[in-house]
Amino acid sequence: MNVFFIHGGPGFNSEPDRVALQGALRQQGISGTFWDEPSRLRPQGTAFLQDNAYSLWLEDLHRALTQAGPSLVVASSFGAKGLLDLLHLYPDTEVAQILMIAPTLNMGAVFKRMMHISEKDLSSSAPATAQRLRECREGSKSFWDPLMQEGLGLVWQNPNLLTHYFTDDKALRLWVGVGADPRFGIDMESQIAVLADLARLRLPALAHPLDKPVLVLTGSSDPVFNQDEVSSELKSIFSNVAFENWSGCGHMPQLERPVDFVHLLKRLLPN
């Protein structure tokens, strides 16, 4: 039984999931393949090229997914967006079933929610930055226009941003601790290049809905997830979509309840 993990981002990696889940996966006899996007931070991996960064991101993911041949694909946050785009480009990709964790599909809407969170956080300590965030959020008219690019840059100036994504301090400390290793920090070069290329990408239409079962796992305290938004998009692509919500979790429930998460994988995998 092999599970293939696609991390969020862009600019992120699978190391937090790898650290949090590997022990519990082994105990349940589950093999995990943790994919990492191309990055200059990891020169031993696939080379990062700034031009056509998202297209190459998708090609590398497709190659790794095809090689792994997993029973289940787990796609977190932006990773779910990447998987959907990959299936538009390669609809015959062998994927038996899919588990999405807090999928980030409408990037523009999610970035505006991040801006709003940071406006509130910075209103007292950095009121000028908070005001500019509001101007960017209200003025941006399309994904990755200049105001959205500026606003996302200001979001990363918010020292409390990540605290909104977790309800469990231990999970937050794990995520931050992993990122202290230069190989597994946030790669801002990759993030900007991938998003810029994503804004240019035009995908082919699907001939028919994909017959692959999809379960969406969410946390009740996730500040950026919108179920109506995600449900509408997924049900236009897949014929079988279900949702499961975990009370008291944030954007990364697999890190906050790793043992329960591995039991969920066990439930989904074929006997």
Domains annotated for the chain, with CATH where assigned, are 2-107+165-268 (3.40.50.1820), 109-155 (no CATH)
Q: How far apart are CA 210 and CA 231, in angstroms?
A: 15
Determine if residue 86 is left, alpha or beta; phi over 0 gives left, psi from -120 to 50 gives alpha, anything else beta: alpha
pLDDT tens by residue, 17-36: 999 999 999 999 999 999 99
In this predicted model, what pLDDT tens digit does every residue of 186-231 receive, in sequence order? 999 999 999 999 999 999 988 888 889 999 999 999 999 999 999 9
pTM score: 0.96
pLDDT band at 60 (very low <50, low <70, confident <90, very high): very high
Q: pLDDT, tens digit, for every residue of 77-105?
A: 999 999 999 999 998 898 889 999 999 99
Query: How far separated are the first and last CA of the chain, in Å rounded?
Result: 9
Check residue 265 and give its pLDDT: 97
